Amino acid sequence: MTQAKPRFRTIEQYAALDPSELPEGNYELVNGEIIELPAESDPNVEIAMFLTVMLAQFVSSRLIRRGTEIFVSSRTVTSRYPDLIVLTEEGRAAIKGATRSAITHEMPAPALVIEVVSPGEPGDKKNYDRDYVDKPKEYAARGIPEFWQVDPDKERKVVVVLTLKDGAYRSREFRGNERVISPTFSNLQLTAEQILRAGDEV
């Protein structure tokens, strides 16, 4: 992970950038700095695409986003790129016609955000802590009602569904043949294994 010089003191400064002024490739805005991220692993991309296809059975494809940015509520100037976002109809109406695909603070929160966890161990601030510590706090503060952590790590192999209640997330873990229970998509019939196996290198 490569850091650039600090540039932005407010999210408004960052939001005012023209898309042509933004870097190419994977990055996030963290603590006012544009942080370059390594390319996604192919198994993680396959998991995200599998979930896109599955969720499209229950919600219009126009509400499903990959590569859409979300400005999060944090004590620092921060913006994230989740692996998968499901917008509400109100959220789609708000973002439609914007110069760049970004969910700002003035727009409604998404119905669901999914992160396919990057490799790493507790204490690894670049990956594990970002996905398991920072993002849950940020997404809860942003008012996102449901957040999934899909962790294909060989030692963990878990799908965690976090549901917002009283401003904080309550989590439930699913492994193996356990059916993943989603408050937003109650008719979804997927096991943790089906989701995690979507990225198997076979």
Q: Is residue 17 part of a domain?
A: no
Domain assignment of residue 115, yes or no: yes
Judge whether 143 lies within some domain: yes
CA distance from start to end of the chain: 28
The Cα 192–Cα 19 span in angstroms is: 37
Please tell me the predicted confidence (pLDDT) of residue 126: 65
- 159-177 confidence digits (pLDDT tens): 999 999 999 999 999 999 9
- Residue 8, in any domain of the structure: no
In a domain, 50, yes or no: yes
Give domain status of residue 139, yes or no.
Answer: yes
Structure-token pair, residue 100: 């760049």
Q: What SS3 state is found at 192?
A: helix
CA angle 93, 45, 53 (to 5 degrees): 55
Which pTM does this prediction carry? 0.85
| Rg of the chain, C-alpha, whole Å | 16
Cα dihedral 23, 25, 31, 33 in deg (nearest 10): -30
User: Which domain range does residue 144 map to?
Assistant: 40-197
**Residue 12 within a domain:** no
For residue 126, give both structure tokens.
């670049």
Q: Give residue 123's pLDDT.
A: 62
**Cα separation of 51 and 19, whole Å?**
28
Q: Are 36 and 26 in contact (CB under 8 A)?
A: yes
- Looking at residue 1, its pLDDT comes to 44
Taking the alpha carbons of 81, 83, 88, 92 in that order, is the dihedral positive or negative?
Answer: positive
The pLDDT value given to residue 147: 98
Residue 148 sits in a domain whose CATH number is 3.90.1570.10
So what's the pLDDT on residue 98? 85
| The 112-116 sheet, strands edge to edge | 64-65, 84-86, 112-116, 146-151, 158-165, 168-174
What does the pLDDT profile of the chain (202 residues) look like in tens digits?
Answer: 444 455 788 888 888 888 888 877 778 888 888 888 777 788 899 999 999 999 999 999 999 999 899 999 777 778 999 999 999 999 999 999 888 899 999 999 999 999 999 876 666 656 678 888 899 999 999 999 999 999 998 889 999 999 999 999 999 999 999 999 999 999 999 999 999 999 675 4
Characterise 31 by phi-psi region: left (phi > 0), alpha (psi -120 to 50), beta (else).
left
Nearest-angstrom CA–CA distance, 124 and 139: 20
User: What is the domain count for the chain?
Assistant: 1
